[in-house]
Amino acid sequence: MGRERILYINFEDERILPLDVKDLNSILEAYYELYPKNVDRELYLFFDEMQNVPGWEVYVRRLYDRGDLKLFLTGSSSKMLSKELATSLRGRTLSFYLYPLDFLEYLDFRGV
């Protein structure tokens, strides 16, 4: 898989803020304008801090329902962990909780 089939967006980047849910479709439109050969190919979307866009759940659900996109959402907000997320995306989510290393784990990780 080529790198051109991966799209990463950081929704804390001030250059794209403020965004409304209506603006999100322009991201994919711009991507497909740059890579028209990928219109019918599987695409991997990585959206970081997506909770910064009000109403993002509806957009993500629509993208997921297309079936040709692999979506990865990350966030540090409690909004990403809430039961509301599971309700709005009904059975379309897998959650992974990543906790920081404590000091001893860090030392072990670094081989100290």
Average pLDDT, the chain: 84
What is the CATH number assigned to the segment(s) 3-109?
3.40.50.300
* Sequence-distant contacts of 78-82: CB under 8 A, at least 24 apart: 79/51, 80/50, 80/51
pLDDT tens for each residue of 72-88? 888 876 555 555 555 66
Q: Is the pTM of this model over 0.95?
A: no
pLDDT tens for each residue of 3-42? 779 999 999 999 988 988 889 999 999 999 999 999 989 9
Residue ranges of the domains in the chain?
A: 3-109
